[in-house]
Amino acid sequence: MNRSLRLFAAAFDTVAMAGVAYVDTGGRFARNLAEYVLWGSVLAAAICAFVIATSGAGALAWVAIGYVLFGGALTAGSPHWGLVLLALALMPLVPRPNGSLVLGLGLAVVAAFASRVAIGLIL
C-alpha cells in the first residue's frame, strides 16, 4: 500500500475516533479516565497519521499505538473492543522501527504499561 493510501486510512481512523470520543463524552475533556483515554486515542491516531505523512520515526507511532492498547486493554471494564480494533487498524499503516514488527509490538506493549502506570499516578 502506498503512503497516500496509508495516510488516508490513518486520517480516516483519526476522524472516526474523534467522532466516537465526541459522542461518548458529549464534547467534554478531562473529567475522568474514560475521557482521557478517548481523547488521548484521538491524539494517538493523529500522531500515527503525522508519522506517515512526514515519513517520521516509526517508534513514535508505535508508542502512540501502545497508548491506544492501554485504553483498550488496561482500563476498567476492559476489553474495550473499539480501541483494540483502532490499534490493530493502525499497526499495518505505520512504519516499523528498524524494519522490525517485533520491535514495534514490543514498543507498543511497553508504552501501554507505562501509560497505565503514568495515568495511575496522575489520577
CA distances from 93 to 1, 20, 76 (A): 9, 21, 28
Neighbours of 12 (CB within 10 A): 13
Measuring CA to CA, which residue among 110, 68, 103 is closest to residue 89? 68
Cβ contact 12:37 at 8 Å: no
> Cα separation of 28 and 24, whole Å?
9
For 40-90, what is each residue's pLDDT tens digit? 999 999 999 999 999 999 999 999 999 999 999 988 888 889 899 999 999
State yes or no: pLDDT of 121 exceeds 90.
no
d(CA 85, CA 109): 15
Beta strands in the chain (DSSP E): none
Question: What pLDDT is stored for residue 120 in this prediction?
Answer: 79
Q: What does the domain layout of the chain look like in residue ranges?
A: 3-122
